[in-house]
Amino acid sequence: MDLIKNIKDIMIGDRSNTDVIREACQDLILDDKTLREIMSRFLCEIERGLKKKTHPQADIKCFVTYVQDLPNGKERGKFLALDLGGTNFRVLLIHLKGESDFEMQSKIYAIPQSIMLGSGTQLFDHIAECLANFIKEHKIHNERLPLGFTFSFPLKQLGLTKGYLIRWTKGFNCEGVVDHDVVELLEDALRRRGDVQIDVCAILNDTTGTLMSCAWKNHNCKIGAIVGTGSNACYVERVENCEMYDGDSKGKEHVLINTEWGAFGDNGALDFIRTEYDREIDEFSINKGKQLAEKMISGMYMGELVRLALVKFTKDGLLFGGQGSDLLFKRFQFFTKYVSEIESDKAGDYFNCYDVLEEIGILHATDEDCANVRFICECVSSRAAYLSSAGIAALINKMNDPSVTVGVDGSVYRFHPRFHDLMYSKIRELTNDHIKFDLMLSEDGSGRGAALVAAVASRQTHESDDQ
């Protein structure tokens, strides 16, 4: 033991703990050269996902959503939406009255872990029960309303109302759902009840909802991105580039593509930037070897990445005098919200940091410890922002439109104090000079966006009937 300590002392030499920690964190810092290499690999994988021959082996699947029309402001009426994408799900009633004019009522329902890890029948029966209760509470049981279903897990779509689950993410692992049509599973659950009359008009994920919600106000929105519990993006692609598209385009030139970029790197493309913390996160996950980009970006893992670094430096005697706490050494007990709180401190102040450390049982931290904790948080969150930026910049450059609005949603993007600014500046550096872009915070994309997809589908049906 003394020999190991002496070796460490020799390695550290006269350098401060701060110097050693900052040097050790260099693996988390991505320069522009590295980001451009990531963009190149990302675009290669996008092309593989779009082509029939390479699609089965592609990590970024580029699923066709069959959404080909964006809102035009003429959508009217009442619409229901289901939003399933995490440990809670929502039911929404949205009344569209005109361009930018709407009323919305919603209710959040919990999904117990026993259901998240149970059977598909249990999950969809639970959803159907909550939907039935919502409809009764709002006294709309005598109306037959169109419904948009946001299902924020990897889906292979065969039409606007047919989507097969590829794999579970975000801690879900319900039996009997993978490779099944989730719209059919929902409709089966509603039929078992017999007391809910709805028309499922569309199945979509939260990125599509985000894009649609922003496009309702800004018709220039052509990319939707999520940086929250999970991470993903969709974008507008030309139909001629989508070999997996097998629908009737009816003369339409474009279709939304759900990239499922969270799986980027599953084939080893990101191994050159993965750290020991990334490998440990993956090792102890329920989907080992899968969703590797998401594990480097999303809020589900950001706090744990920071915790693993804190544990390493504490055990090395570089933080907290080498003394941690039970909560520090317990998996997933350093929450992602702590990262946002710590980085919200003004420069030189550590009020939030001291509060967070006290909450996890560390009462003996110094100002130097807090400065180092903040630096570690900044490295992890900046890397997440830059990886997201590289993906978005690659899509912007691929589309090559002179002006693009990017709709963004998700708890990390919303609540982290620096995430928007980090993304904006990095996307600007990585996009082609002639392209203008802006980032638009989505207002309830996964909910309102689902209703808007249903509204657009309903509008198109009425327009076809009128012809």
pLDDT at res. 8: 45
pLDDT at res. 462: 59
Q: Which phi-psi region, left, alpha or beta, contains residue 289 (left: φ > 0; alpha: ψ -120 to 50)?
A: left
Mean pLDDT of 411-440: 97
pLDDT at res. 7: 37
SS3 string, 175-226, reads: ECCECCEHHHHHHHHHHHHCCCCEEEEEEECHHHHHHHHHHHHCCCEEEEEE
- pLDDT tens for 226-284 read 999 899 999 999 999 999 998 776 778 999 999 999 999 999 999 999 999 999 999 99
Q: Which residue has the higher pLDDT, 74 or 180?
A: 180
- pLDDT tens for 79-128 read 999 999 777 889 999 998 876 678 889 999 999 999 999 999 999 999 99
Mean pLDDT of 195-217: 90
pLDDT at res. 156: 87
Domains of the chain are 63-217+444-457 (3.30.420.40)
DSSP assignment letter at 111? -
When mean pLDDT is compared across 16-20, 173-177, 249-253, the lowest value belongs to 249-253
Residues annotated as catalytic are 170, 206
Print burial letters for 5-44: b (CB count within 10 Å at least 16), e (below 16).
eeeeeeeeeeeebeebbbebbeebebeeeebeebbebbbe
Q: CA 101, CA 283: separation in Å to the nearest integer? A: 48
Confidence of residue 2 (pLDDT cuts 50, 70, 90): very low
Instruction: Give residue for tokens 């699923």.
Output: 63
Which positions ≥6 away from 156 have C-beta within 8 Å? 61, 63, 163, 164, 166
H/E run at residue 411: helix 411-415
Average pLDDT in the chain: 91
Q: How far is CA 424 from CA 334, 392, 413, in A?
A: 27, 10, 11
Contact 297, 231 (CB under 8 A): yes
Mean pLDDT of 354-366: 98
